[in-house]
Structure 1
Amino acid sequence: MEKPQPPEDWECCESECSPCVWDTYYEELRLWRAQNTETTSESAAAEGDEDE
């Protein structure tokens, strides 16, 4: 998964839409971080197995 890019200035109308483009961005960023944390943990575990 590629890191999400924040919305451009022109993409938010500041009308308090629900969901706002920023809401969508922050949710995608949260998912991206969770996936990277999981991937990093799996890599570290695999490296630990190789050391034994």
Structure 2
Amino acid sequence: MNKDPNVQPRPRPQPPEKPLPGDCCDSGCVDCIFDQYSDALRAYERAVAAWELEQGGGER
């Protein structure tokens, strides 16, 4: 696959910031900060997998 040398590769996705234990209010929220973090972590993992494919499938 020919890549344009003038095109900069996308930077590797960065993981979401993990909430601290005290960030949760412990009130049983439907959309708890830890639930939001879990969703963001899954999205990050998918983004990294896509990024790795763009970079050549992990071949180094």
TM range (shorter): 0.7 to 0.9
Match of 2:33 in 1: 21
Counterpart of 1:34 in structure 2: which amino acid? R
- Identity, % of aligned positions: 28
Q: How many residues align?
A: 46
- Using the size of structure 2 for normalisation, the TM-score is 0.65
- Using the size of structure 1 for normalisation, the TM-score is 0.73
Structure 1 runs of 4+ aligned residues shifted over 3 Å read: none
RMSD: 1.5
Question: Which runs of 5 or more structure 2 residues have no equivalent in the other structure?
Answer: 1-12
Higher helix share: 1
Does residue 10 (structure 1) correspond to residue 22 (structure 2)? The answer is yes
Match of 1:42 in 2: 54
